[in-house]
Each structure stands twice: as structure tokens, then as C-alpha cells.
Chain A
Amino acid sequence: MDVNVNTVEQSQNEMQKAPQKRDQFKAFWNRYGPGYLMLAPFMILFIIFILLPVVTAIGLSFTNYNILQPPKWAGITNYRLLFTDDDVFLIALRNTLLFAVVTGPIGFFASFFFAWIIDQLKWRNAFALAFYAPSLTSGIAMSVVWLYFFSADRYGFLNNILINIGIISEPILWNMNPDTILPVIIIVSVWMSMGTGFLVFLAGLQNIPREYYEAAAIDGVQNRFQELAYITFPCMKPQLLFGAINAIVNSFGVFDVAVSIAGMPSPNYAGHTIVAHLYDHAFIRFNMGYASVIAVVLFLLTFLLGRLSMKIFSTDN
């Protein structure tokens, strides 16, 4: 008898439990279901086209893969080849680092500096437009104009001016001479570098409450530069962080300006960049495994520098 009672109770319990679980799920679904449904399109595309590709790229970098045959495990061979045997990659790495060291910090600080000045001027919107407009243009389209300026023959503006002043007697082959290719690419990129970061800084400056400055003036802050150090910078940390990440990603991703100015491959690889090398191996030679190593190197560079800037512009303290 006892046993019977128990089993009846047990089965009753189980019968109650199952609907309970279903109720729980129902409650959960009622509360969060619509939210997850609305998030779903973004998350699915984000995982397929951004998150998984990063993981896949890391995976592929340890294989040899030419698309036609399945990937073959290669261990760290690709990495060894890239850093010890591939002189062109080392040139590309050197060019990109040089480029990034100049355009990254220059773009970043100049963006902040000019936003700071423009914020205090009359005709603020007009100045903002004039500074921002170059970054709205396509690198490909504008390089056509820049090639007029740097054109190798006497029709080139720069050569024409320099010859007239008498600094040079022969036209300089700006976009074909390995010594001048990188500087030309850098100048064009700096011209285009007042981008999103610049706008974010300008907007951030406009949102710092005026009272902060007035309070600081009472506390003994005397000049504009002290204001900058004690109020503006601390208030702007989130915007500065965004600008820094933006500058890092952009300066390491240099490609279209370089290709359209120097061509591909460029003379002596003087305009060759990491992304150009990636493109060459991935989509011209279809060495997907080897190209993935280049992608991983690029990923690590930008990601670690991004992390570093997060440390620098942390708002925690």
C-alpha cells in the first residue's frame, strides 16, 4: 500500500513539474521573447559575418587552403614563412607601421586640436564642414585629383611650382619613385583623416557643461591650457577612446589610397601595405591559409592597440 501511495504521489509530482517547467518557459518567453526576436537578425548576421570569420581566420591560418581542395593542416608553417621568408611582407609591415605611426597619432591629435579650436570660433559649422568634407570623399576618386597635383610630368602642379621657383630642374616622379611614394600616400591620407573622430570630438566639446569651466575658474584654473588638462580631457575620455580606436583601425587598414596612387604591385613595393599583401595572397593567388596569417597579424595589431587605448582612456578612476 505504502508503495502505491508513494508512486501515486510521485507521479502526481511529476505531472505538476512538467507544466511548471512549461509555465516557466512561457513566462520567460513572454518577458524576453520579443526582445530576442528583435535582436535575432542583428545577432545572426553579426555571428555569421563578423564573429565566426575572426575565429575561422585564426583556424585557417594553421592550414594550407586553396578553396578547390579541403584545407590541409600545416601547423605554424605559415607563420614561420611569413616572418622569416617573406621579404615582401616585411616591406608591407614596415610601410604600414610607418604609415600608421604618422597618420594614426597625427590624425588623432590633429582631430582633437582642430575640434578644440573650431569649437571656440565663429562659423563653427562651416569650419567643421570644410575639415570633414575630405573624409567624405572616396579615396579612389580623390586620388585622381591628387595625381594631378603629384603628376610625374610638367603638367603636375607641384612639379610645375617647384620648377618655377627653381628648387628643382627636373620633374620628380612623385608616384613612381620608391622614395616619395609613401610620403605622398601619407599626405593624401592625412588630408582625409579628419573623419568620424573629429566629429565626435567636436560634438563632445559642445556637450561639456559651461558651469564646469566657471567652477574651475573659481578654483584657480587660469588659462585655456589648464582648462584643457583639468576639465576638457577628463570630460572627453569616452569620445577620445572612440576616436583612438577609429584612428587605429583606419590607419592599419590603409589600402585603397595606396593602390590608386602607387598601383599594385607598386615600384619596389614602396606602396605595399599589410592589406595589399593580404589581398594579393587571398584573392589573386588564392593562398587562403597563408593570407589568413596576415589577417591574424592585422587583427592582433589593431585589437591589442585598441585594448591599450581602452586602458589609457579608462573612466574608472
Chain B
Amino acid sequence: MSEVRVLVGTRKGAFVLTSDGKRDKWDVSGPHFAGWEIYHLKGSPVDPNRLYASQSTGWFGQLMQRSNDGGKTWEPVGNKFVYDGVPGTHQWYDGTPHPWEFKRVWHLEPSLRDADTIYAGVEDAALFRSTDAGQTWQELSGLRGHGSGPHWQPGAGGMCLHTILLDPSNASRIFIAISAAGAFRSDDAGVTWQPINRGLRSQQIPDPNAEVGHCVHRIAMHRSRPSVLFMQKHWDVMRSDNGGDSWQEVSGDLPSDFGFVIDVHAHEPETIYVVPIKSDSEHFPPEGKLRVYRSRTGGNEWEPLTKGLPQSDCYVNVLRDAMAVDSLDQCGVYFGTTGGQVYASANAGDSWAPIVRDLPAVLSVEVQTLQ
């Protein structure tokens, strides 16, 4: 019998939600690490009971936690993130040089091949890797050192490396995204990097077509077609059919092309999901209606998915790491809100129901499909 485990990071702890394959009755475990911000937790595809979590507060800094039993018990592992060499500077909000300072881990991406290898995207933006199950961390400093690093600037939420995509067909290829620098790709397992932002247009920056400086919010791929990428940018939903070498806009008929999350159906590589948000200053759904939009054509043509979602007076946000899909035959889609709801659809988005309604603000949602 299949089981689904939903890993939820919130402003005040982590929660683990479990259900059988029907996904209509859920057990809620938590809060784990009560009172701490859990930006992200994620399981290893190699060993699903191996979970990693990023735990932090403004008081006591960054901790990393590891579980070997699917989240029942946890142990702290290494939390020393030191930039390689002399960190140098990036640009501050006012354009002046600002020293690189580690603040927190935003995103964790366990290796597709080794349960003890995991990548961490951090603020101030850098990529770290551990090959000893999180005990020690080393920066892949070719990213910051490739040349444009001194010109990167933080987005409103900080200068965070928030997306890490590992190519299932090519162990040497890694995609990452940074707010507000843009997207980058490595074809040598993280040693060297190149910006992949051609085709992005950002009217808010001095050169709308600049090589770096774009506020990418999220990138997603389908594992069967890793050179096709989908992006939710600050404004604009984009797609690339050549591993990021060029991008084209596919916002189409969305009510707003601002948003944070984007994800791909587990079995249909051209079916993608976004949650439109009104604007960068009004971080809530247009018209107070919480709508997931689905495109079955890889973008441009979108349909609102509303059944079971609040269609009046709803002013929550859905943050960039807070949507995921399961891989059951009938693909499940999940997302969490800043209002503390975690919604699930067991039918690819046709209808929705809340798993929980009153958690702390949700920062991240990940799903494990367990056989």
C-alpha cells in the first residue's frame, strides 16, 4: 500500500503529515523544533527515511537536523557554513559593496544518487555541499567566483539561493536560482557556472535584459525532460527548452504573472502549476480568490483550479518552496500558505481540501511518495 509523507516547514516548527494512497485521512506529527523557523526539510530519494531540515532563529542562528527514521527522531548535524577563501562583496540594496555574510539555509537538495550527499542553498547566496550526511559543509565557490558575483543584489527577502535542481540524466548538471541575481547552470558538478538568463526581461532593473540581476522566484523541471525548465519570475512565467540557454514567456492568460511557486505534474511533463499573486507589493491572490492555475500545454493557456479553495476574502501568500507533487498514479498536488493552511489535491488539481488549517505560516512543502 502506498503512503504519502508531506514535510512542512513553518515559521515556528516542522510538521510531518502522512496518509495512505487515498490521501483523504491524514495524521499530523509536530511541531518538531517548536519555536524555530524551518525554512526547508526534504528527504533523500535514495533513502526516503533520511530527512534533512534547516532550522534557524534570529537568536541562535542556523542549525541543521537529520533524521534516519522518516522524521520520528532527529539529531543535529554540522552547522558551520564558511565561505571559501576571502568572501568579498556583493551589492547592497543601495548599490554599495556589502560583504558576503552567512545568514541561513533556504533550501536543501539531497543527491539523487547518494543518501549522504546533500546540497544547501544559503543566504547570502552561495551553494554548499556535504558528502558526509550533513556533518561538514564545503562551498562550491565557483558559483560566486564566476565573475558576476560582485554585481548580485538582494531581493526584498534577502539574497538567497533558493532553488537547486539536479539533472536526473546527467550527474554533472546542476541548476540553481538566486534572488535577485537569476538562474545559473553548472555542467561539471558545480565546479564552474554560467548565468542562464537570456530571454528574461525585468523592467525594474537598469538593463531589463541584463546577464544577471533578475529576481527568479522558482524553477521546476520534470525528471523525464531535464532540459525543459519552467520558471516563476518576480513577474512573468517563463520556459526554456534548452536547459536554460534561452527563455520565452508563457504567462499567457494568467490573471497575474507575479507569483512564487511553480511545479510540474509527476507524469505529464507539459502540465504545470502556478499560484498567481496580485503584485510584488500586494502579496495575496487577485480578487481575494485563492486559485491554482494549471496549464496542460506547458504554458500560455491556463485554467483556474478553484474547487475546494476559498473564493472570497482570501489574502494569504504561497511562498516559493511551498508547492510539491507526489508520484502516485493519480498525481497529488500540495501547497501551503502564509495563513497556515496546507491544501492537497488527490486528482491533479481538479479539487482541493485542506489537510491542516491552522499551522504557523508555511515556508515550505515537500512530498515523499512511499511504496
> Are A and B part of the same complex?
no
Q: Which residues of A contact B (CB under 8 A)?
A: none
Q: Which residues of B contact A (CB under 8 A)?
A: none
